[in-house]
A = this chain, B = another copy of it.
Amino acid sequence: MESSLLVIVVDDEPVIAQLLEEALTDGGFSVHSASDGAEAIRMLDATGAEYRALVTDVNLPPGKLTGWDVAKHARELYPEIPVVYMTGAAAHDWTSKGVPNSVLVQKPFAAAQVVTAVSQLLNQGNTPGV
């Protein structure tokens, strides 16, 4: 494998971002991190980057973009990109604000849940017609 598989993690809490980066790196993924929605969207829009999965907190810093917004933008650029949302509260909004074929992980969660969710969504997307 010349290149590795790039995941974008969006979270404003450095401790969680750090834990996820370690767990994903340990699983063989490469990770880029953004600490708010605007930064995430700049990274997704940047030339040359190619993201293969998005892991985003739902409640990003107030007055700015939410995780729902970031995921919709990611799907417009990459129609099949796996999306994992993390939330401590807004679980019920997922059915109206989430995108199809996404996973919602409720806090507190274990990092293995996120690694499993990303892996499973990638594996489904790679098996055409499933």
Interface residues, chain A, with chain B CB atoms under 8 Å away: 1-5, 15-16, 19, 23-24, 26-29, 72, 75-76, 79-80, 91-92, 94-96, 98-113, 115-120, 122-130
Bound-state Cα–Cα, A10 to B120, Å: 22
Bound-state Cα–Cα, A127 to B92, Å: 9
Bound-state Cα–Cα, A100 to B94, Å: 8
Bound-state Cα–Cα, A16 to B4, Å: 12
23 examples of A-B residue contacts, CB within 8 angstroms: A1-B108, A2-B108, A3-B108, A24-B110, A26-B112, A27-B110, A75-B96, A79-B95, A80-B95, A94-B100, A95-B99, A95-B129, A96-B99, A98-B99, A98-B100, A101-B127, A101-B129, A104-B126, A112-B119, A115-B116, A117-B119, A124-B129, A124-B130
